[in-house]
Amino acid sequence: MQGICKKRADSEKYGGLEEREGKMEYYFVRVVGEGAFSKVYLARTGTGRLCACKVSAEKEMLKKEADLLGELYHPLFPAYLDYEEQGGKGMLAMEYIRGENMARMLMRRRGFCAEQTLRFAAELADGLRYLHHRQPAVLYRDLKPENVMVCQDGHLKLIDLGCACRLGEEKSCMAGTVGFAPPEQLKMGRAAGIYSDVYGLGRTVQSMLGERERDVKEKNTYHKRLKRLMDGCLCEDPGQRFPDMIGVMGALMGKRAKEKDVICEKNIWESHYKNACSLPPI
């Protein structure tokens, strides 16, 4: 990968990646995120386009994430741009998302209202349904507010596919975040499944509501749907949860859903995602 920095002297500061001829240029601006095994930079290409660059010494892990992201075409996920390796590190370049991390947003508010929470939950559920309907199915395995971006138009993007895996690829592997991951993901020898992402969605919805979670006991239609959603997502026993995102969408719509009833990614591209999604006041 060429030109991660404008000057070679800056290469150590910005991920240890130097210029190389014949590749796209990337100029790092600042760090915008940091995890246990990687850093994410706001970067600019040689043509002036802004992008996000994830840099990690765990090349095999990052390459797996890049390969998966490159296969996805759904508005919930950032667009893949490039993957390169150099100097013992890998770099995944992807769409830069203009918006705010949901976890930071929730630190400032009591939580989202029921109507907005339902709208956000529907967007997440549709994107997860898209993953689960791939062949083989893809499990996200790390749904939490920290991995959700609220864009400037009010819609969501789900970032960081570092924990994602294809169904059957990792039959017994601890993954996810305590407090959001289901029991079967946090104990060795227990297999994750589509029902695991169902649980993660329920926990994330709980966090979206924040202090407003107590309001789901009210006799409001939106609150009833949210209560049904969480009741069907947060069972300790995977067999007692909604089996898939079709069941989740049914709870969100207030009825038993069938495959033909739920929003598909084509419809989202052509209608829902063309319209701005305003955040209601807290």
Q: Which residues have a catalytic role annotated?
A: 142
Question: Tokens in use for 39?
Answer: 């850093």
Q: Is 280 buried (19+), middle (13-18) or exposed (0-12) by CB count in 10 A?
A: exposed
> Phi-psi bin for 154: left (phi > 0), alpha (psi -120 to 50), beta?
left
Please list the residues that pair with 84 across neighbouring strands.
91
Check: CB of residue 143 under 8 Å from CB of residue 197.
yes
Residue 37 and residue 59: Cα distance in Å, rounded?
A: 10
Provide the pairing of β-strand 165-166 with 138-139.
antiparallel
AA identity, residue 235:
C
Please list the residues that pair with 38 across neighbouring strands.
56
Please list the residues that pair with 30 across neighbouring strands.
42
Mapping DSSP to helix (H, G, I), strand (E, B) and coil, where does residue 128 land?
helix
What angle do helix axes 221-233 and 114-132 make, rounded to 10 degrees? 40
Residue 121 and residue 215: Cα distance in Å, rounded?
A: 17
Residues 6+ apart with CB under 8 A from 233: 198, 199, 201, 202, 203, 205, 241, 242, 248
How many Å from the N-terminal Cα to the C-terminal Cα in the chain?
Answer: 45
